[in-house]
Amino acid sequence: DTGVSQNPRHKITKRGQNVTFRCDPISEHNRLYWYRQTLGQGPEFLTYFQNEAQLEKSRLLSDRFSAERPKGSFSTLEIQRTEQGDSAMYLCASSLRDNLNTEAFFGQGTRLTVV
């Protein structure tokens, strides 16, 4: 499978716990994005990497959120001290830098439920 892969698919955690999600982009894609989607809404941009550099962060990305892409390949998104409002689908996407008009390819997402 050469698509964007996200793990885990589902995560249930207690409020106050830390969680970490992983994203493996399409191998030749140097751009990686994290989005969050809540019920009835479209995906909302969280952060963007070009290779290993995190070049943009949304104001939605509070201090409790941190994302890394250490070797320019896979990425992790960590949420510390989770809150019920963090419950959402977290989507990862990747694209190729060379063509500015290229579409982003999304993974299947990680659904987080904070209880």
Partner 1 sequence: DQQVKQNSPSLSVQEGRISILNCDYTNSMFDYFLWYKKYPAEGPTFLISISSIKDKNEDGRFTVFLNKSAKHLSLHIVPSQPGDSAVYFCAASAKDTGRRALTFGSGTRLQVQP
Asked if 4 is part of the footprint of partner 1 (rule: CB under 8 A), the reply reads: yes
Asked if 39 is part of the footprint of partner 1 (rule: CB under 8 A), the reply reads: no
Closest distance to partner 1 from the beta carbon of 16 (Å): 27
Closest distance to partner 1 from the beta carbon of 29 (Å): 13
Which of 27/101 has CB closer to partner 1? 101
Inter-CA distances, 14 with 28, 36, 60, 90, Å? 36, 19, 21, 17
Asked if 25 is part of the footprint of partner 1 (rule: CB under 8 A), the reply reads: no
Please give the Cα distance from 30 to 43 (Å, whole number). Answer: 21
Among 100, 103, 115, CA closest to 14: 115
